[in-house]
Amino acid sequence: MLNGIGRIAMTELEELRYFEHQCLEMAKQSTLPDARHALQILARNYATAAEMLERRAQSANTALAQLFRCLKL
């Protein structure tokens, strides 16, 4: 079941994963160690945010599924 919450979360999740990937790509290409390290940290932050968003979306979908079961919808 994909509802409005799931669609919004998926769009945000896709954006976070995209930015994570971009930071990792820029880190690979960087010749400056400090910039490379900063980009790797930023990529990790995007990955962490994406994981948190995934968990919240799953929790919201689980709660909605339980509600629909209780309402017998």
- pLDDT tens digits, one per residue of 32-41: 999 999 999 9
DSSP 8-state assignment for residue 73 = -
**pLDDT tens across 45-72, in order?**
999 999 999 899 889 889 989 999 999 8
For the entire predicted model, the pTM comes to 0.74
Query: How far is 61 from 3, CA to CA, in rounded Å?
Result: 8
pLDDT value for 4: 59
